[in-house]
C-alpha cells in the first residue's frame, strides 16, 4: 500500500504509457476536469497572494517567523474578502440598483 492510497490521495494528471481505449474514458476526463478546476482555484489564490499580499517576499530566517508571516498574510486576505462582502451587503441594504445605474 502506497502513501497515496493510505491517505486517500488521488493522483491527477495524464497517465503514463500508451492511452487505453476504455469506455471509462469519459468518466476519467470529467474527473480530470473537476480536479483541474479545484487546482486552478487554489493556485489562483496563491497567485493573488503573491501579487497583492507579498507571499513571494518571505525572507524569514526562522521557521516560526516564516509561519507567522504566512498566517498573517492569510489573515489579511480573509479580512479583505470579509470587508468586501460586508460592503456589498451595505450597498444592497441602503441602495437600490437598476440596469442603468443607481436609484437611491
Q: How far is CA 46 from CA 39, 52, 66, 85, 101, in A?
A: 11, 10, 16, 20, 34
Model confidence at 35, pLDDT cuts 50, 70, 90, reads confident
| Residue 33 to residue 23: CA distance in whole angstroms | 17
The grid coordinates of residue 96 equal 437600490
pLDDT band, residue 24 (cuts 50/70/90): low
Secondary structure of residue 102 in the 3-state scheme = strand
Tell me: the pLDDT tens digits for 80-98? 999 999 999 998 888 877 6
Using an 8 Å Cβ cutoff, are 19 and 42 in contact? no
pTM of the complete model beyond 0.95: no
pLDDT, tens digit, 9 for 90 and up, residues 38-79: 889 889 988 998 998 888 888 999 999 999 999 999 999 999
| Residue 28: strand, helix, or coil | helix
Can you tell me the distance from the alpha carbon of 91 to that of 21, in angstroms, rounded to the nearest whole number? 55
Decide which of 58 and 21 is more confident. 58
Amino acid at each position: 500500500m502506497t502513501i497515496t492510497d493510505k491517505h486517500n490521495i488521488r493522483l491527477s494528471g495524464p497517465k503514463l504509457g500508451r492511452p487505453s481505449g476504455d469506455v471509462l474514458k469519459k468518466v476519467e476526463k470529467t474527473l480530470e476536469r473537476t480536479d483541474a478546476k479545484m487546482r486552478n482555484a487554489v493556485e489562483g489564490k496563491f497567485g493573488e497572494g503573491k501579487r497583492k499580499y507579498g507571499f513571494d517576499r518571505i525572507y524569514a530566517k526562522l521557521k516560526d517567523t516564516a509561519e507567522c508571516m504566512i498566517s498573517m498574510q492569510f489573515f489579511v486576505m480573509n479580512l479583505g474578502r470579509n470587508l468586501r462582502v460586508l460592503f456589498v451587503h451595505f450597498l444592497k441594504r441602503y441602495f437600490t440598483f437598476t440596469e442603468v445605474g443607481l436609484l437611491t
